[in-house]
Amino acid sequence: MRVLVTGGAGFIGANLVRLLAGEGHVVTALDNFSVGNADYLAGLDLEIVDADILDSAAMGRVVGGHDAVIHLAAQTRVPLSLADPRGDCQLNVIGTLNVLEAARSNNIRRVIFASSNAPLGRQRPPAKEDKAPLPVSPYGASKLAGEAYCLAYHGSWGLQTVALRFANVYGPFSLHKHSVIAEFMSATKAGRSVTIDGDGSQTRDFIYVADLCRAISLALLAKTGGEVFQIATGVETSVARLAGLIQHTVDGTMHVVHGPARQGDVKRNYSEIAKARRLLSWHPAVALAEGLKETWRWFREWPLK
């Protein structure tokens, strides 16, 4: 297939384009490089387009000629959504609308949308597709709106949309990320202390990026549309336990301090993945301890910039 990946120079994008190219797809990576890193794509045999998803005219031009779009480009940080909810909305809602409109106008039949558990917000875990969304942050609200537009474009025009609710993703090519594992490892490599928000009892579901990318690839080829899937491990891990695992992985060189709890944070978060197992024939394969070792190996080898 001819596949366009928005946010192709970002963390997940850099991993995904490698997988898709290895599977024989013809890949175009679109990024505005405000966050993504061009070095992540160095030496790869693919087309790279410098464009912004907020530029509807550019999106209309770039999307044409592809069979499918995987839409990863987004504002992904809860604190930034609190600081600038309008900017979060512009990028995550209008940007997604631009992608869907470009796909519709170019007769692209399939769009995979990167969502999150954030739309569920106040729901008690485990996160499931049939629970009513109750977002607690502007980020959660913007991702929920993106999901809703994907479902609406399927219902109105038959666009084969699939929204994947990513758990907390970690792995190679995440040096620029502000997620907990990337923050802990980049700080440790630089010799800085790491900060746990609150007491560390908050829980998350951590999924290795290679497992996530396999799920995206399977969703790309699946016959289903107008669906939402939880993509996670189903394992609940506290941030305090995670810190202990990373401490072991980096041979005890990580120094931990505690800060205040984060506004808009979800206390417990993990997913049930039965639907993805059943309809996508997908399951996670990399255990957390193994994935942390691979991630730390990449962090040690990649230069700090």
Q: How far apart are CA 33 and CA 68, in angstroms?
A: 22
302 contact partners, CB below 8 Å, separation of at least 6? 172, 175
Look at strands 68-71 and 160-166 and give their pairing.
unpaired
* CA quadruple 106, 143, 299, 304: dihedral sign: positive
Beta bridge partners of 6: 30, 71
Does the annotation count 139 as an active-site position? yes
Q: How far apart are CA 189 and CA 187, in angstroms?
A: 5
DSSP string, 101-165: HHHHHTT--EEEEEEESTTTTTSPSSB-TTSPP---SHHHHHHHHHHHHHHHHHHHH--EEEEEE
Of 139, 170, 208, 270, catalytic: 139
Q: Catalytic positions, please?
A: 139
